[in-house]
A = this chain, B = another copy of it.
Amino acid sequence: MIIEKEDKLILVTNDDGLYAAGLRTLLEVMEEFGKVVLISTLESQSGMSQALTVKTPLRTKLLEENERHRIYACNGTPTDSIKLAINQLLERKPDFVVSGINHGANASVSVLYSGTMAAALEGCLYGITSVGFSLNSFSREIDFSVCRDFIRIIMNDLSAGPLPEGICLNVNIPAVKREEIRGMLVCRQSRGNWKEEFDKRKDPMGRTYYWLTGLYNNHEPDAEDTDEWALRNNYVSVVPVSIDMTAHGYIDTLRNRLNGSSR
């Protein structure tokens, strides 16, 4: 693959592994927008968050190359994959980092655990316009085609102008028919948490072990400006996500609380 000066260069990854259907759909749509370098893992890396591999060496392998894309396998996390591609594999800094399409939504507090969104955040840390896409279904048979139009709308917008420094997008798409989707809503991350998180079992030796599981508990199901509400009401949710985790609005109060103790 030859990358010309005028070509957009798009770095693609996911956290469901190289053989995930959502990744193939994303690759196909990205080829409409530029030359694509795809890097992912053989196994799923779901729930890996922004994890880094520091105790084992990382390796990459070029699996496939044609006129439109190159595909690499990597043995690390989604964050490792983005770092390796940008530092070691790409001829130049990519124009976009695009992650997904994840099997399952990454709305609300899932953004903290998501490998898909970690890859987008990692691109954002490099100053690259970055997006994570997710489809709200865990079904193995789900059709990702419904996502195509919305990915195109987002990419057309981002091609017209980059995102501000330190901000990337978290896009979640309802798993319904195209004609049932009512449009796109720019939202905030919904407040919520997880409950009943473990399935406790005994192994054949009589020892206890646990599987992580759990149910999402939405703290504000009626808030129409949240991503959870959008998804449940058949809208595509678009949340601008910040790499700055500072609770800016609480700085003055905290300063007063700790005052007298400080300096």
Which of B51, B198, B248 contacts A48 (CB under 8 A)? B51
- Asked whether A87 lies within 8 Å of B182 as measured between CB atoms, the reply is no
- Asked whether B182 lies within 8 Å of A54 as measured between CB atoms, the reply is no
Nearest-neighbour CB distance to chain B for A128, whole angstroms, equals 11
Q: Please give, as numbers and ranges, the residues of chain B lying within 8 Å of A147 by CB-CB distance.
A: none
Query: Considering the chains assembled together, what is the distance between the CA atoms of A118 and B258 in angstroms?
Result: 23
- Asked whether A261 lies within 8 Å of B184 as measured between CB atoms, the reply is yes
Q: Interface 1/0s, chain A 131-173, versus B by CB < 8 A?
A: 0000000000000000000000110010001001111010000
- Asked whether A261 lies within 8 Å of B153 as measured between CB atoms, the reply is yes
- Residue A25 CB within 8 A of the other chain: no
- Asked whether A58 lies within 8 Å of B109 as measured between CB atoms, the reply is no
Given contacts A46-B54, A126-B193, A188-B248, 17 further A-B contacts (CB under 8 A): A47-B54, A49-B50, A49-B118, A51-B77, A52-B113, A58-B198, A58-B209, A58-B212, A59-B209, A59-B210, A154-B258, A166-B191, A166-B247, A167-B250, A184-B263, A185-B263, A187-B251
Shortest 9 CB-CB distances between A and B: which pairs? A183-B263, A47-B52, A49-B50, A57-B209, A242-B247, A49-B49, A240-B247, A184-B262, A51-B51
Q: Which positions in A face B, CB cutoff 8 Å?
A: 44, 46-55, 57-60, 77, 79-80, 83-84, 87-88, 109, 111-113, 118, 121, 125-127, 153-154, 157, 161, 164-167, 169, 182-189, 191, 193-194, 196-198, 200-201, 203, 207-212, 238-248, 250-251, 254-255, 257-258, 261-263
